[in-house]
Amino acid sequence: MYIKQLQQTWRWFGPNDPVSLQDVQQAGAQGIVTALHHIPHGEVWTKEEIDKRVQELKAGGFEWSVVESLTVHEDIKTRSGNYKGYIEKYRESLKNLASFGIRVVTYNFMPVNDWTRTDINYTVRDGSKALYFNWTDMAVFDIHILERQHAEKDYTGAVIERAKAKFIQMSDRQKQELVDTVLFGIPGEERRTTEGMRKELEKYKDIDRAALKSNLAYFLQEVTPVASEYGIRMAIHPDDPPFDILGLPRIVCNRQDLLDIISCSNETSNGLCFCTGSLGANPANNLPEMIDEVNTRIHFAHLRNTVRDAEGNFYEGDHLEGNVDMYKVMTSLLNVQQLVTHEIPFRPDHGHQMLDDLNKTTNPGYSAIGRLRGLAELRGLELGIVRGMQENK
């Protein structure tokens, strides 16, 4: 009995990525996940710019498997300003990508800030470096550096006290390092500032979870028919971390959120990027059960693990070790793969900075060796499950 496998991919940030395409070949990846980060958010990805990236990848022996991310402009998220114009540009970008045979487009609907961590050099037990989120450090930034109005309401009394004591002891350099980490964003894109953050937060003062979900539904109803027409599968990335921060609503955090998104548009192009790291940071999420429920609406997967503590702090563990049962996740994803004709791509999401990479400049979470280890482990896990499925048929 033939069992279809997932497509094994690798995220690459373009020609300036410290990890070369030759490195990716040696890691054993089958396809590339990338984006045109140099194009400002909301502007059209022209055929000329798309073709440049396609040719760069072909020269390195790869095809462009997944777009990550075709960024949604803040005007669309707030449904204000020139949001209709940006939606039209988004549709045009989808059409242009489709003309090059690119079929999976990932995006997120996180307000203002993309993924957020408080430490990008957290040392784990074996001496490698991981990404880390700590509520006390988040409160230091939010309450004492950003000075967001009424920020204290979003933290426990214990966290507020610890944050106050820590802020007093921090040097100016430590404070700046925390700011740089929280506002790091996507490699290759413009860095945010605390002043810019304050201005962006102001736009969301009257937008709660219900309003943001409504804005997402409007966006999906406008773009998914075009995606379906041109054969593109859209995959929304969960919020990272999967809970409200900085007073901003997060609406892609749990089972119900995923079901709500699927119900926004009946188009089969309307789907999910199932990120086990983001969703796994929420202890209420049962990831294998969620995969079984959303099923064929999973168009892409990020596979990584998290290690949580009782207070909700977490760091990114080894791919097969942590709070996520990667065996059950991989089994569920392979079951979904058997139900569709196209390949479902996955990539080893993030990885520890380790071995020689400890002495190199790398994009946080995207050093070569840690992800190579992760991909090797995931490939072996997948092969073992596939062989078992074949023998049991």
Annotated catalytic sites, by residue? Answer: 237, 275, 302, 349-350, 366
| Backbone torsions φ then ψ of 192, nearest 5 degrees | -85, 165
Cα–Cα nearest to 261, from 293, 305, 229, 304: 293
d(Cα 131, Cα 364) in Å, to the nearest integer? 7
Tell me the chain's radius of gyration from C-alpha atoms.
20
178-208 as b/e: b if 16+ CB within 10 A: bbebbbbebbebeebeeeebeebbebbeebe
* Cβ contacts of 383 within 8 Å, gap of 6 or more: none
DSSP secondary structure of 91-157: HHHHHHHHTTT--EEEE---SS--S--SEEEEE-TTS-EEEEE-HHHHHIIIIIIS--TTGGGGS-H
- Helix, strand and coil content of the chain, in percent to the nearest 5, comes to 45, 15, 40
The H or E element spanning position 345 is strand 345-348
